[in-house]
Amino acid sequence: MESIWLRPERSARGPVPEHSRAEIARAAMTLADQGGLAAVTMRSVAAAIGTGPASLYRYVGTRDEILELMADEAAGEYRFSPSVPPEPQQPQKPQQPHPGDPLSGLLQLARQARRIYQRHPWLIDLPAVGVLPGPNAIAYTEQVLAVLDTTGLDHSARLETVGIFTGLVRLLARTEADQQRAGQQLADWQGALAGYLIAAVADGRYPHLAAALSGQGGGQATGAAAPGPAAGPAGRPPGPAGPDDPFDRTLTRILAGLLAPPGSQPPDQ
Binders of DNA among residues 11 to 40 (CB under 7 A) are 11-19, 40
Is 64 a binding residue for DNA by CB under 7 A? The answer is yes
Q: Is 84 helix (H, G, I), strand (E, B) or coil?
A: strand
Task: Name the residue nearer to DNA (CB basis): 20 or 190.
Answer: 20
Does 178 participate in binding DNA (rule CB under 7 A)?
no
127 binds, among its own copies, DNA, none (CB under 5 to 8 A by kind): its own copies
- Please state the separation of Cα 145 from the chain's center in Å: 18
Closer residue to its own copies (CB): 48 or 226: 226
Q: What is the smallest separation between the CB atom of 210 and its own copies, expressed in angstroms?
A: 9
Residue 219 binding result from DNA, its own copies, none, given CB thresholds of 5 to 8 Å by partner type: none
* d(C-alpha 87, C-alpha 111), whole Å: 21
The verdict on 181 binding DNA (CB under 7 A) reads no
Distance between CA 240 and CA 187 in Å, rounded?
23
Would you list the DSSP string of 169-228?
HHHHHHHHHHHHHHHHHHHHHTHHHHHHHHHHHHTSS-HHHHHHHHHHHSS----SS--S
- Considering only 57, 215, 235, 253, the residue that binds DNA (CB under 7 A) is 57
Residue 171 contacts which entry, DNA, its own copies, none (Cβ below 5-8 A, type-dependent): its own copies
52/184 with CB nearer its own copies: 184
Burial of 124 (0-12, 13-18, 19+ CB in 10 A): middle
Instruction: Write the CA distances from 171 to 74, 125, 166, integer angstroms.
Output: 17, 11, 9
Q: Residue 3, interface with DNA (CB under 7 A)?
A: no
The 10 Å Cβ neighbour count of residue 45 is 23
Residue 252 site contact among DNA, its own copies, none (CB < 5 to 8 Å, cut-off depends on kind): its own copies
Q: Whole-number minimum distance, CB 49 to DNA, in Å?
A: 9
Residue 84 dihedral angles phi and psi, to the nearest 5°: -120, 110
Interaction of residue 81 with DNA, rule CB under 7 A: no
- Specify the amino acid at residue 42: M
Binding residue (CB under 7 A) for DNA from 22, 33, 43, 81: 43
Asked whether position 7 contacts DNA by CB under 7 A, the answer is: no
Applying CB under 7 A, the residues found at the interface with DNA are 10-19, 40-44, 51-55, 57-59, 62-64
